[in-house]
Homo-oligomer: A and B are copies of this chain.
Amino acid sequence: MTARTEDPYHHGDLRETLLRDALQEIAAAGTEKLSLRALARRAGVSPTAPYRHFPSKRCLLAALITRGFRLLDESISAARKAAGSDLESQLVAMSLAYVRFAQHNPTYYELMFSTVLEDFSEYEDLQQAAEASYGVLLSALEDLVAARPGLDISASELSAVVWSAVHGVASLLLFSHGRAPAKGRGDPLTGLELLAEDPERGIRLLLRGVLSA
Contact = CB atoms under 8 A, between A and B. Distances in A.
Contacts of A181: 121, 127
Q: Quickly give the copy total for this chain.
A: 2
B212 A208 contact: yes
Chain A binding surface, main DSSP class: helix
Contacts of A164: 165, 168-169, 172, 195, 202, 206
B205 A161 contact: yes
Question: Which residue, of A168, A207, A209, has the highest number of chain B Cβ atoms within 10 A?
Answer: A168
Interface residues on A, range: 35 or more
Interface string A151-170: 00111111111011111110
Interface string A58-73: 0000000000000000
Interface of A: 30-32, 110, 113-116, 118-121, 127, 130-131, 134-135, 138, 153-161, 163-169, 171-172, 175, 178-179, 181, 183, 186-192, 194-195, 202, 205-213
Contacts of A154: 191
